[in-house]
């Protein structure tokens, strides 16, 4: 059975494993896939959901995007200085359920805004593990170095004109 193009697009977006939403120039949510609607607990079919009402609802009901503030109006004012200001904007955000997401907003010249939301929770876990390993390595490094050897190594690297990158020194 051949699906109409819009139905095929919706089915493809629903199966994509990421969130997708489309806001009109008046900032009304006009289309969203199942992932987005479930994550933010909204329905594009309602027809009256705006980006701002979605953010206010997330804050009030502690769902969807994690908004940690007691002043939602101030938060919205700060976010509005960035929202819809660039043709493409990408940023990291976290959801109330603990997931981390990478959000890419694309603003069309006619005012329509598409939002793609990708779950990057596994990357955040890896980033956290790497940060902990780095911190531990720095801690161990500081324990095993004496101030004299650290100063001598720094002096040698400067006099040998070594690059800060892990490449061989010139002339060695």
Six token digits for residue 143: 């324990």
Q: What is the mean pLDDT of residues 42-69?
A: 94
Distance CA 74, CA 77 (A): 5
Q: pLDDT by residue (tens digit) across 95-130?
A: 999 999 999 999 999 999 999 999 998 876 566 667
Beta strands, E only, the chain? 19-23, 29-32, 88-94, 100-107, 113-119
Q: What is the DSSP letter of 3?
A: P
Q: pLDDT by residue (tens digit) across 2-35?
A: 778 777 777 777 777 899 999 999 999 999 999 9
Map out the domains of the chain with their CATH numbers. 5-124 (3.30.450.20)
Does the pLDDT of residue 153 top 80, yes or no? Answer: no
Record the pTM: 0.69
Distance CA 163, CA 142 (A): 22
Residues 6+ apart with CB under 8 A from 95: 39, 64, 65, 66, 101
Q: What's the order of all strands across the beta sheet hosting 19-23?
A: 29-32, 19-23, 113-119, 100-107, 88-94
Greater model confidence, 69 or 4: 69
Over the chain, what is the mean pLDDT?
83
Does the pLDDT of residue 167 top 50, yes or no? Answer: no
Q: Which residue has 């997931």 as its token pair?
A: 99
pLDDT at 154: 54
- 8 A C-beta contact, residue 108 and residue 25: no
Using CA atoms, how far residue 74 sits from 56, 69, 99, 152, in Å, is 12, 9, 25, 52
Does the pLDDT of residue 46 top 80, yes or no? Answer: yes
Please report which confidence band the pLDDT of residue 47 belongs to, taking 50, 70 and 90 as the band edges: confident
- 8 A C-beta contact, residue 36 and residue 122: no
pLDDT at 140: 77
């Amino acid at each position: 059975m051949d699906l109409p193009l819009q139905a095929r697009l919706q089915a493809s977006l629903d199966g994509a494993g990421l969130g997708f939403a489309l806001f009109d120039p008046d900032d009304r949510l006009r289309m969203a896939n199942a992932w987005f609607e479930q994550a933010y607990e909204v329905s594009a079919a309602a027809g009256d959901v705006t980006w701002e009402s979605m953010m206010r609802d997330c804050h009030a009901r502690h769902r969807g995007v994690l908004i940690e503030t007691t002043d939602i109006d101030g938060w919205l004012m700060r976010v509005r200085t960035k929202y819809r200001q660039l043709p493409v904007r990408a940023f990291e955000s976290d959801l109330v359920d603990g997931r981390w997401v990478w959000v890419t907003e694309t603003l069309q010249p006619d005012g329509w805004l598409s939002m793609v939301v990708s779950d990057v929770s596994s990357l955040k876990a890896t980033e956290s593990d790497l940060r902990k390993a780095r911190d531990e390595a720095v801690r161990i490094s500081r324990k095993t170095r004496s101030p004299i050897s650290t100063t001598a190594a720094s002096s040698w690297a400067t006099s040998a004109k070594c690059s800060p990158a892990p490449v061989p020194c010139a002339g060695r």
